[in-house]
Structures are given as structure tokens and as C-alpha cells.
A and B are shown apart, each in its own frame.
Chain A
Amino acid sequence: EAQVTQNPRYLITVTGKKLTVTCSQNMNHEYMSWYRQDPGLGLRQIYYSMNVEVTDKGDVPEGYKVSRKEKRNFPLILESPSPNQTSLYFCASSRPRTSGAYEQYFGPGTRLTVT
């Protein structure tokens, strides 16, 4: 089954304790992206990757890191989490085409609480 998986689904942590949220896709997609979802703000892009070893900042990258060492994996790293990073996080992947009418496939989400 074609899918994007994320782990963990739920995480409660304390300020300053480094954490990693994993993301993996089995569709051989080149493009992967991380979003955070906050009430009233919709989804905002944190980082994205066009392919292996190619990553770039999205709209809200502060406090986050990513890496893309393999095509299928795109982990999100919070080196020193803070309470304002409490949010619902989504990983997504897609295969870019000349026409922009292609969909992004989303993971199930990771709900992170930082106390």
C-alpha cells in the first residue's frame, strides 16, 4: 500500500530535550515536506526537500532541522524544543510534474506537546 508513515504519533516531552520525528514514504517520491498545523493558521511549511541531500527552508523553519540521506526518509529534528513548538506535524511527499496538478500525500500526523 502506498503510504507516508510518521513516528511517533503522539509525543509529550520537556523543554530542551532533543527529539526526532521520523517520516518515511514508499512511493519513490522526490519531493518531501514537513508542515505544522495550528488552529486558525492552517498548515505552514517548515522545511522541504527536492531530493536526496537537497533541503531548504519553508515558511517557519526556526527551531527545526531536517536531513535527507535516503530518498524514502525525511526526519524532522527539534534540537531544543520549546513550548511554542507544541503543534500537530505532518509529513508529505509527492512526485513533481511539469503540470502542477499533482497531489501531495500526507502522513497521519504527529501530535507534539512540549511542557
Chain B
Amino acid sequence: AQSVTQLGSHVSVSEGALVLLRCNYSSSVPPYLFWYVQYPNQGLQLLLKYTSAATLVKGINGFEAEFKKSETSFHLTKPSAHMSDAAEYFCAVRGQGAQKLVFGQGTRLTINP
């Protein structure tokens, strides 16, 4: 069964600093990977997705993620944090031939002025 682990339930960075949110998956074959963002009192919005076309994936709002098969990781980064990035971030995986999305525990990102 697919599973996802997000390291760190809370991450705090200063405005302008690098954002790094970690995600590791378990799968015997490369799955489909997603990052979603949840702003306060809102639903989940897709940030980016890995489709096997490229290992470095660019998403909305300046975020990107790199698929590393050898490390079974799909970490999310942004070079310079903005106050508006404060939200909860979820990594999710879908296995080959599956419909179901399996979510990680979520990481709450706080931006300090």
C-alpha cells in the first residue's frame, strides 16, 4: 500500500528565507506525487504534481519540488518565503493504476516577519 510521510508537523521560517518541506513516499514503483496547500478556512488547492516528465517540477506561487527516486522523496521548496505562504501543506501519492490519493499528515508553515 502507498504511504506518505511528511517530516515535521510545524515549520517556521523568516520572511525571505528558504522554505523546505519534506515528503517521503513508500512505493515499489514511482508513483504519482502531489503537493496541495490549504489556506485558513479553505479547501485544498493543487500546488504541483509529479508526472514523470521531469524530476524538477515547478508549481504555482514560486514553489517547486524535486523527485528523487533513490531517496523516495519529493520535497517542496521555495527560495524566498512570503507572509502569504503561511498555510498547511500536504503531500499526497497515487499509485500506478489507482484512483485513491493517500495524504501525508500535513505540515503547518509559519512565516515570521
Using CB atoms and an 8 Å cutoff, list the residues of chain A in contact with chain B.
4, 31, 33, 35, 40-45, 48, 50, 58, 90, 92, 94, 96, 99-101, 103-104, 106-109
Contact = CB atoms under 8 A, between A and B. Distances in A.
A109 B43 contact: yes
Contact of A100 (B31, B42, B44, B105): B31
- Max chain B Cβ within 10 angstroms of own Cβ: one of A40, A43, A44, A48: A43
A93 to B, nearest CB: 11
Interface stretch (B14-22, B70-78, B96-104): B96-104
B104 A42 contact: yes
B42 A109 contact: yes
Contacts, number: 60
B50 interface: yes
Interface of B: 6, 9, 31-32, 34, 36, 41-46, 49-52, 90, 94-101, 103-106
B14 to A, nearest CB: 25
Nearest to A90: B43
A35 B104 CA distance: 13
29 contacts: A31-B99, A33-B100, A42-B90, A42-B106, A45-B101, A48-B99, A48-B100, A50-B99, A92-B101, A94-B99, A99-B32, A99-B51, A100-B32, A100-B94, A101-B32, A101-B49, A101-B50, A101-B51, A101-B52, A103-B34, A103-B49, A104-B101, A106-B44, A106-B45, A108-B41, A108-B42, A109-B41, A109-B42, A109-B43
B103 to A, nearest CB: 4
B81 to A, nearest CB: 23
Contacts of A41: 105
A106 B90 CA distance: 13
